[in-house]
Amino acid sequence: MTSVIWDMGGTLVDTYPEVDRVLAQAVWGPRPDAAQCAEVRGLRTVSIAHAIRELSRRHGVEAAALDRAYAELKLRWRTEPAPLMAGAREVMDAVRSGGGLNLVATHRDRASAEDLLAALDVQVDDMVCAPDGLPRKPDPAMNLMLLELHNLDPACVLAVGDRAIDVAAAVGSGVRPVLLVPHGSERPATPGLEPVVIERLGELLPLLGAPGA
């Protein structure tokens, strides 16, 4: 059986387009142009916290205003959630059918993560959140905790994420790294690491041994 440790934003849930939009609007107003949105996107690929810090520094917008825009978005997601990534539910069902676990390791705060999953009617077997007191990726601590809590053999676990830090955390915990790079996106550099690279989540099915893949 194969279990999966999922990253959340940008991997399991398609949160990034809305995050980029609200941060750009907080800086430039209701109709940011393509170049402005691209600036936010480039900063956000490091982390949302990094994007907020840098946008505040570069454009003289108070970080508190950017934090507030992001907090308001998370509140909206309670009733109007960002969509699941295409294929996510199918892959999660295949993991469950094969006897594996769907686990989440995220930098998102627990309340926000739980609200988003509940709004999407997504059931996971366990979740660890860095704000609960765990080191953030690329530190492997969250993955290692999940492996220990569920007595999992790392050889039977995939860790799926969309950033280089997800890959590094997977390698550091001894599980197989899978890097999601949606079609048309720039692949993040992963020097010295060798993740399986996919463009859509459905490509995980053969790695699970799922029928009809």
DSSP state of 55: H
Where does the pLDDT of residue 213 fall: very low under 50, low under 70, confident under 90, or very high at 90 and above? Answer: very low
Q: What values do phi and psi take at 50, rounded to 5?
A: -65, -45
Alpha-carbon torsion angle 92, 9, 183, 44, nearest 10: -170
pLDDT by residue (tens digit) across 55-75? Answer: 999 999 999 999 999 999 999
pLDDT over 60 (residue 35): yes
| 157-161 vs 176-180, strand pairing mode | parallel
pLDDT over 70 (residue 159): yes
Q: Which two tokens stand for residue 176?
A: 């197989």
Rounded CA-CA distance 82/57 in Å is 28
CB 125 within 8 A of CB 88: no
Alpha-carbon torsion angle 27, 32, 38, 39, nearest 10: -20
Residue 140: how many CB atoms within 10 A of its CB? 20
Cα separation values, 58 from 1, 30, 40, 164, 165, Å: 49, 19, 11, 25, 25
Residue 162: how many CB atoms within 10 A of its CB? 22
Residues of the chain with pLDDT > 90, as a percent, come to 88
State the average pLDDT over residues 201-206.
96
Where does the pLDDT of residue 211 fall: very low under 50, low under 70, confident under 90, or very high at 90 and above? Answer: very low
Average of per-residue pLDDT values in the chain = 94
Lowest mean pLDDT segment, chosen from 13-17, 46-50, 64-68, 84-88: 46-50
Q: Which two tokens stand for residue 194?
A: 């060798």
The pLDDT value recorded for residue 210 is 53
The pLDDT value recorded for residue 212 is 42
pLDDT over 80 (residue 168): yes
The pLDDT value recorded for residue 184 is 79
Q: What angle do CA 50, 145, 106 make, to 5 degrees?
A: 30
Secondary structure, 3-state, 122-159: CCCCEEEEHHHCCCCCCCCHHHHHHHHHCCCCHHHEEE
Cα separation values, 209 from 65, 95, 152, 177, 206, Å: 47, 9, 18, 17, 5
State the average pLDDT over residues 136-142.
97
CB 117 within 8 A of CB 129: no
pLDDT over 80 (residue 150): yes
pLDDT over 80 (residue 120): yes
State the average pLDDT over residues 100-123.
95
Which residues, in sequence order, are bridge partners of residue 161? 179
